[in-house]
Amino acid sequence: MFDDGKDDILIWVDENDNITGYGPKMETHEIDQLHRAFSAFIYDEQMKELLLQRRADGKYHSGGKWSNTCCSHPRQGEELEDAVPLRIRKELGFDIPEGTPVEHKGSFIYRADLGGIFEHEYDHVFVIRTDKDKIPLDRFDRNEISDLKWVATDIIDEELKTDPDKYSAWFARAYLLSRAE
């Protein structure tokens, strides 16, 4: 599997996304430190289907929950725009097709207590629209992801109303931002 060579040192930020320091990934989540993160959404060209991942059961939090295509963090010394394709390659096992725009849709702060582990993130949302036939679904890192599938957005919309707990804590808010015009 691809190794990006980055240590798991995350970027701590304030409420305006200004860097305030750095810390190891697990410590950052244990001490409830606000840090920079991103949520990438890969849609088909018409934005009618979204590539969802089911987080691996062994993840340190939210194992078994469905979430956006790639959820991760830029590391110390890494630009946010560079982190998105790197983590997609590392976690999903493919490159974003050449020439495909990666659109920054905005950001938000959220906090969730997940049983002694805290998601306290300044989350940047990115949207990638592509020909879904160019995306392999069998190369993902099984330590990170247990399943990967295309799901129609109308099904996601309905499930967020009827069964929101099947999704990660940040998913609904990030998903709405990814769909905003």
User: Phi and psi of 39, rounded to 5°?
Assistant: -125, 115
Host H or E run for residue 151: strand 145-152
Catalytic residue among 49, 91, 119, 121: 121
Would you call 71 a catalytic residue per the annotation? yes
CA separation (Å) from 71 to 45, 54, 90, 106? 21, 11, 12, 15
Quote the CA–CA distance of 106 and 108 in Å, as a whole number. 7
Catalytic residue among 49, 71, 91, 119: 71
Token match 């929101």: residue? 164
Q: Active-site positions?
A: 71, 121
